[in-house]
């Protein structure tokens, strides 16, 4: 390794391993940005969040006669559905989950009001 006029290290060709490709700073930034874009695309193509939202919505609907369970799971289903609606792969599932969550909240409110009216 030798120093140039600006006191920056310069690699001699004898110090670069032959099996390791040399990368300029521009290539490393490009590779990093490309990897980030691939990860983001893979996340958007996954429908996992939509499936989780639908499961929460179904559980919320089943638990809605027990008002507090229905409310909590319904809010969770709506929140998860809203976060999943922007992903193309899970948009349809997200809309279903939001609907299930809202219906579960309304059914929970109905049963809560019914319970108060009885007493």
State which H helix or E strand residue 3 sits in: strand 2-3
Q: Let me know whether 98 and 67 are in one domain.
A: yes
Q: Let me know whether 35 and 68 are in one domain.
A: no
The whole-model pTM stands at 0.62
20, two tokens: 């390791």
Q: Let me know whether 14 and 57 are in one domain.
A: no
Q: Let me know whether 15 and 68 are in one domain.
A: no
Contact of 49 with 90, CB cutoff 8 Å: yes
Residues 98, 42, 31: CA angle, nearest 5 degrees = 145
Residue range 49-87, pLDDT digits in tens: 899 999 999 999 999 888 788 899 999 999 999 998 888
User: 23 lies in which domain range?
Assistant: 2-45
Which pLDDT band, with edges at 50, 70 and 90, does 100 fall under?
Answer: very high
Q: What are phi and psi of 96, to 5 degrees?
A: -65, -45
Into how many domains does the chain fold? 2
Q: What is the DSSP letter of 4?
A: -
Contact of 78 with 98, CB cutoff 8 Å: yes
């Amino acid at each position: 390794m030798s120093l140039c006029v600006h006191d920056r290290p310069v690699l001699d060709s004898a110090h670069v391993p032959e099996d390791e490709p040399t990368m300029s700073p521009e290539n490393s930034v490009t590779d990093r940005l490309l990897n980030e874009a691939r990860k983001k695309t893979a996340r958007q193509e996954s429908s996992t969040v939509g499936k989780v939202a639908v499961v929460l919505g179904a559980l919320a609907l089943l638990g809605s006669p027990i008002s507090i369970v229905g409310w909590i799971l319904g809010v969770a289903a709506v929140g998860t559905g809203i976060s999943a609606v922007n992903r193309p792969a899970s948009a349809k599932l997200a809309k279903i989950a939001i609907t299930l969550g809202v219906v579960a909240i309304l059914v929970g409110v109905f049963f809560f009001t019914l319970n108060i009216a009885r007493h």
